[in-house]
Copies of this chain bind each other. A is one copy, B any other.
Amino acid sequence: MEQIFSKLNFLTNGEGLTDITDDLNLFIQKSNFHSGIFSLTLLHTSCSLTINENADPNVLKDLENFMKSIVPYNCYESLSKDRETVYYEHSQEGEDDMPAHIKTALNNTNLSLSFQKGKIVLGTWQAIYLWEHRFNPKERSISVHIIGEKSSSSYNNE
Contact = CB atoms under 8 A, between A and B. Distances in A.
Contacts of A3: 1, 35-36, 148-149
Contacts of A43: 121-124, 126
A62 B149 contact: no
B121 A143 contact: yes
Instruction: Give the interface centre of A88, A107, A111, A147 by most chain B CB atoms within 10 Å.
Output: A147
A139 interface: no
Contacts of A89: 58, 61-62
Interface of A: 1, 3, 5, 35-37, 39, 41-45, 50-53, 56, 58-59, 61-63, 65-66, 68-73, 75-81, 83-86, 88-90, 92, 98, 101-102, 104-114, 116, 121-126, 141, 143, 145, 147-149
A145 B43 CA distance: 22
A3 B86 CA distance: 46
Given A1-B1, A3-B35, A51-B109, 20 more contacts: A1-B147, A3-B36, A37-B39, A37-B145, A39-B112, A44-B126, A45-B52, A45-B59, A45-B125, A62-B89, A62-B102, A69-B76, A69-B79, A70-B70, A71-B79, A72-B81, A75-B81, A76-B80, A105-B107, A110-B111
